[in-house]
Each structure stands twice: as structure tokens, then as C-alpha cells.
Structure 1
Amino acid sequence: MTTSLKIDNIKRHVERDIDKLKIEYTLYSPPGVDPWVEVRFRDEKGNEIARVSVRRDRKSLLAYFNGAKENAERLASILSVLGAKVEVKEYGGDWRVNLYTDSITAIRRVEWLDAVRALVEELHKRGLIGKEQRDRLLTEINAGPNVVEIAGAELSVWFREKETKSGKTKWLVIVYQPGSSAAFDAAVKALKGAGFVEGVHFTAKRPEGGAKGHVYLKMPTSIWRLEELRRQGIDWAERALRRLEEIAKARGFSDLLEEYLRPAREAETVDPRGLVAEDAERGIKAVIRGVRVEWDNNRPRVVVEYEINGVVKTFYFTWGATGGRIQASVRLNDEKALVLATLLGDEAIKGKSGTVKLVTNHLFALTRLRGIGWELLRWYAGATKNDTEFYSL
């Protein structure tokens, strides 16, 4: 019988008695040695059935066991039933079970969490970790697992920030770390099948030659695609976004997620047809008849049609990505400026004449318009795929 099948059999027995499982821990902190916690699992009669140690591993935590195969399999089955993702592997005759922070925090039993918190507090008390690292680890313990399922793959979610000359820079990391080439291929195939484009919505590196692989979702374009799928009624996309919101709330980066999602959440929520652009002082009143996108060498040309004094008129402008900038130029007079200001919701455009430059914020304002929003967002995602500075918070 293979190890995985044996663990599955043990799991079935553990699941029946999981409510009777008792968890105890002892914190060890001898001088000159990093502290650790030993967690023991006991059955209803008080007999010890498994144990595992938890210690610091650089900037994260590690729960580990080395020993006999039977004991490793029993421990793995218990941890798995409690919610952790766990594997048993052989190294030099010993059988090992290793869990890192994300799997450690997936176990939500109070006694287990108390043990892990006690270790973190002791590490801080002894000056082995700083306040910032202690707070981060405690947040992860309290928040629970940072995993979201997207297109059938489980991805880890991380919030990052750093100080720069211009202030704090914040960003979101969503990554899948496949355990094998087959898992990598399946994840990439599933993402592509859901309309995610490599280079636009994600980057991927296949595991080979002993090197680990990964699939990184690109921000914010990947979650724009999730929102687009949610709008189309795709259930797993709805669940993924809901889970991302739960993780963001628990870990304190809801504002960042909302900022990333805003263009997609607002996409095509405004019908431009029938909007009235009026300037009483100048005696101008125009009714917008429609807005559409035409294509000029893979660049979106936005065509605006409006009616004034019974006459239908149009003007257009074409977006491009050059020199690290998203921009368009448009020639305006009083009435065109009034119409464009109404579409953009930008009073500063009113009264302008001659050639006016439009920038990224204006593009996002246009994505709110029904019939052109998703086309513009898709173009933007492709146009900025090689430049991480286009969208910064």
C-alpha cells in the first residue's frame, strides 16, 4: 500500500474521533538555543498518539517531525484532518513531516493556535524577532489560511509593502507553487482555458532540473479577469473574489484590493446614451447618442457621437502606449470639450480648446461606459504587460 493510500485510510479513522482529540503543548526556551514548542496529540483516554515540534525558520514558522514511517503517517493524517496540507517524505532512512506558516495557520483548533502564539511571543520576548515580524506572524495566525482557489488551483495570497523615497509602496502577490511538472501544466492549462493570457494575466516558470516552478498572477489585470468572469456568471470566480475579500479583511489590506478591483467593478456601469452635456453660460446643450471603439493597428479609437441643435456630430481619439505612458490626444472646441467632460466626469476639461492630452485616469473613466469598458481594460492589460509601473497606488 502506498503512503498516500495508507494516510487516507488513517484519516478516515481519525475523522470519526476528531472531536475527541486532545491537543497539549509545552514551550521550551533554554538559554542559548532558539525556543520551540512541542505539540502532543492524545486520544480520549489520554494516550499520546502523535507529536510535532514547531520552531522559527528564518522569517516564517516550521512544524516538523522526523522519525518512523508509521508515526509520520499517523501525524500526517491528524494534521490533514485538522486542515493542513501535508506530505510524508523519506530522507536518509527517516520519515519527515514539514509544515510552514500557511499550513500551520490552516489548523484552526484553539489549542494549536495557542501553542503557536506562545512560540511567537517567546521569540519576541527573547529578541529573536522584532515587533514587526511578531505582529505579522500573529496576524497570520489569527487570520487563518491565505489560500484562494482559482481555476482549480490553490494559490497563496501575500500582502507586501516597503518604504521608498516617495512613501510606502504596497502590492499584492498571488502565487501558485506546483509540486510537480504535471501540476504546473494542469494549472497553466486551466488558467488559459478560463481566458487568462500568459504575460498579460500571469507569468509562469515550469519546474525542471530540481528548480521549483511557479505561476504568479499579475496585478491588477488578473483580478480584473476574475471580475469579468464573475459578471459572466462563473461560480468559481465569484467564490475566488469572495475569498480574496475575506483574506484582505482579515490581513488588513482591503483598501489595496478595492483599489485594484475598482476599474473592473466600475466597468460598463454607465450607459452614455442620452446623457446631456449642457453649459448655460455658453448656450451649449448636446445629447450624447453613443460611444464606440474602433481599432487602428491594435490601438483603440474611441468614437463619440452627439447631437446638438438637431445636427449629429462625431469626434474621436486614439489611445496608445509609448515611452512608458498610456495616452491619447484629442482636438477640442467648446462643445466637444463639454461632451468629453460629461463622459469623463472631469470638470477640468470644460472650456478647453486645441489639442488636449488624455492620460490613464481618463482611460479608466471611459471604462465605466457601457459598450466600451471591457474592450479598453483588455487593451490596457495587454499594452502594459511588460511594464509594472503603469498601475501604481
Structure 2
Amino acid sequence: MPLIDGVINRWDEREFALFLTSAILGDGGKYGNYVVLTVGHFQRRRGEELPLTLTHKAAAWLTLLAKYGYPPDRIYLTRQRDEKGVVREWAYFVWRADRLGRPFALSADLLTSLQELRLGDNIYIKVKKMLEVAKEYANALEVERDQLDTRGIWSKTKIRFKMGNKTVAHMSLYWDGESLKAIFLGSRENAERVASIIKALGGKAEIKQRSAGWTVELYTDGITTIRHSGWLNAVRSFIEELHNKRLISDERYEQLIKDIIAGSNTVEFAGVKFSVYYRKREDKSDEIIVVYQPMKDTAKDAAVNSLSARGLREGEHYTVVTKDIGQYEIRINGEYIKALEALRQRDLREGEHFTVKEKSGEYVIRVKRGHRGAVVEALKAAGLREGKDFTEEGSKVYTIRITSKGLQEIYRMALRGDKEAERFIREVEDVLKRWYGQNAVERLRDILRPVRGEDTIDLPVPVSDKNGNVVARIVNLKYEFIRDGNPVDHCQNVGCRLRITAEYETVAEGERDQVVAEWYWKEKRLKTKQGIVTHYYETAVLSVKDDIKVAVLKTLTGREVEKGRVELTARDLEAMRRFKAIKDAIDQWRKGRPMSSQAQDSERK
């Protein structure tokens, strides 16, 4: 039995964290500011009497929790007699949520995997709340950076995540002359800890076994995906110090700083990683570009097959264009230093005869046609074997671009409940907002708007409880624009609110009642190097006190809600757009979004 094994033997910290997190997922959850674990009797076969009682199991749990430093703040015992007269007993272990931030953060890989699987609303809500606790813990970590070290082949520094005086995790940050790398090398336990903290911060990481140990490796995109202010400040100061020492060009420096500020601009669909851009055409119109540019025939074919398998049609939902760029790519497999030295001995100069790029952890030598033979001959003369130590690719680049109709088709998939499509559309919008601002987001919404109108819902709408029984019908949806507490014909900016009233009729008694959500623009201030930046996001807060109102709100938002205080987000308002009666009002209110302080400054300039 795992519980007894944990009491008797010594687990590492992450094993304990996974056990506790899994137990809470199965028999507990986060409620308000507290986390609760329900402990019952030891399992027994029918008719079997065990000498061990709830007291023994609770004592085993307390021993385990004390052993690893997480005793509960409170314990409650409950006894209840069922309809057959059998007495049932439970113990409730209660913690302040912030006390379990570390074990949840160390289990972030498990939690993020479960979140992507969407195993049901109940588990999804539990996982989401536990990840929020993990992220709060990870965001509270302090970051320290060592001094710049330029003595080796690559300039480097070490970045440490600390809680108080204790180092929780660390990675070495490198500059190889072209790109950033963050690498951890050590034991499997420590590698798993590093990967979990990165995932708790919203990044992506996986551990790999090398001959020297277990590693976690991040490249520029992965480094900038981690949106922890201390981490980003440490990376930025490293880049600035390299730039001051003239080890990074002005152009590359500016691009890296932009990446740090805005984060990655890549999104994934059907296993294909696309880059997202927004630009103005010469005719002053604007366009959204979602593009993947492989140079291998096999990569192009794999992408086309994957998109086709998801129902997208070439020529309509995506296009494929081939371009001859007049150069070859030679991919080096692990012998980068030896290859570079071989080229230098043949008087082949970087920048004149060839350039070196880093792609996803591999080094690529780009050679113009006229120098291809000399480069390949130099590599072979140094003992590098073609096909094993290096591979050569043609001089073509393929551009696979998702069209506006393709974005609309993926959005249709999302509206039908396709989780990958939902994530893709959400991430495209997130990239556009971070990199280009609200105008780019509005352009995406304009592209998707025709699809949104295809599946609007007319009233009345049945309302079902958690058991699937129809308990009410939404018979009317009304809206009002509110300014200073009073209804107005239209309004915009900070003081403008949108009040949505859902009138429903119960099936059993035929009584009428209503649920009211008043949407407003909430201010959020972010501290940046340029000063305080103010942003606004849409939200509504309401109190839901009975089961039917819970069911009505679930019908409106399409997600599980619980009794008590409910905070609605932009995703919930987007779900409400499905209803024809309020769709246009929501669009009109959103057009009056207040400008961020950054956008106001840009407009004044």
C-alpha cells in the first residue's frame, strides 16, 4: 500500500508531492483559500472485517505528512449513518492553500497533462485550481543571477530560483554566438524538479537522459515562454551585459529584447508549429499571417498530411508555396566545434562563405551554392561522415500558410468542442495581443465573426442539472448598457458596464426568476522597466446561491460553476455570444474597451 510504504521508507520530495497531489485530486480539492483531503477507512472486501480503523489510517496519513513537512492546519472528523443504518466515518485534513504550493508545483507536469486531457469538468476544475496554487508558489520564487563568465567557448551565467535562502532549482544560461540556451544537467530527481517548476510557470520542458546525467534544455522560444518577472529580468540583464561587451550585434539584441517582452510567437496545431504575425499591407489593410516554413521535403509532407488528416483542405484552408533561396543547409549532428574548426582551417570564413544558425538545439550551416562543394569537402576531410555526422538539405524553403478560411474552419472545430482547436485559437489571440496589441486581436475577431453567427442559439433554452435532468428553461435574455448605475443607449470606456439578465422558468413549479451578470472593465497594473503600465480586462462577479441558478449559469457559460461567489472571465462572455439575443450587444460593448496606458502613449506620439 503506497501510504504505508511512504511512512516506512524514504521517498524523494517529488515522489511525496505526486502522491499527495494525486490523493487530493481523487478525494479532495481546493475550496476558497483552503485545500481539503478526505480520508476514509482502509479499503476492504465485502464481508471482510479489518482490525484497522479510520483512526489508524488518519494516524498513518499524519505520520507521512509530518515526515515530509506538511502537517494539516486543521482536522475534522465526521460520522454519518446511511439509509441501511451503517455508520460511515471520514476525516477532513485542511491546509491553507499557499502551504501546498510547493508539492503542487513539483507535480505540475502531472497536472498540466491532466489539464490537456480534459477528463471531465470535475477533474478539470480541480486541476485548474491546483495549478493556480502551483503558479502562485512559483511566481513567489526569487531569482538570482551569477556574474557573466566569458572564459569558455560560450558565454554563460547561472540562474537560481530561491525560496528564502534555499535554492529550489537552477539552470545555466548560455549564449553561443547566435542564440540563447538554458541547460540543467544533474540527477533525475533534480531535473524533474526543474521541469516541474518551469511548467508551473507556464513554460514547456521535458527531461532527457544524456551520458553525463539527466538534462532539461530550453532554447530561445522556451526561455521567453517563462513569464516570471525575476527570470525574464535575469535573462534580459545577461543579454544587456553581452551587448555592452559587443558580444551581441545591435540587430540581434533588439530582437531578443522584443522576444523577452512579448514572449514566443509560435502556436501548434496538428503537430505543426506555426509562427504568428500581423502586418499592414501597402493598401493600408491589415492581415494575420499564420505560417510554417520547413526546408525539408519530409517536414513539408508531414505537415501537409497532418493538416489534411484534421480535415483542412489545401488551396482553401491552407496554401503551400515553394521558393528557391539559392543556399543549402548542412545540419551538424553533435560535432559542431569540430566542423567549425575544419572550415576555418580551409580559410572558409563565417559571414562570407557560410553562416551558422541554431534550430531547436541543432546547428545548421547555411552555404550559398558557390561554396557548397568546398564546405562539404572540408567536413569530409576532417573525418565527418555525411549521413551520420552531418546531413545536407536542398536550397528550397516551403511556406505553409493557414488562410482566413482555414482559421474559420479551425474555429468551427473549437465551437464543436475540439480541445486542440480551442487551444490553437486561444494561443493565436494571445500572441497577437502580446506582440501587436488590441487592433490585431480585433482583426482576428473580424475574421472569425462570420463563424460565430452560424451557430447562434434561439430561446427558449433547456437547463439541465448535473444529473442531466431538465430543471428549467431560459425564456428571455436582456441586456442594458449601464453608466453611473443608470441605463443608457450606448457607452464605452472604463465606466461603461454591460448588464445581462437571464430570465428562466422552473419546470417543477413554473416559477420565474433571473440571473444577472454585470460586466465591467477591471484595471490591472503591471510594473515594467518603462514604469507602471495599465491594462483592462472584462469580468463579472455574482453570487449564486441555489442549484437551479448554478445550472442556468452553466448553460450560459458552458462550464462548471459552484455555489457562492463566481467570477466570470472573457472566456465566459465569449460563450454567451452563442445566444442570438445578446450577441450584438456583447460585440458593441467590447468595441468600447478602454485603451491601455501604453496604447494611449503611442497614440499621443
- Please give the range of the TM-score, normalised by the shorter of the 2 chains: 0.3 to 0.5
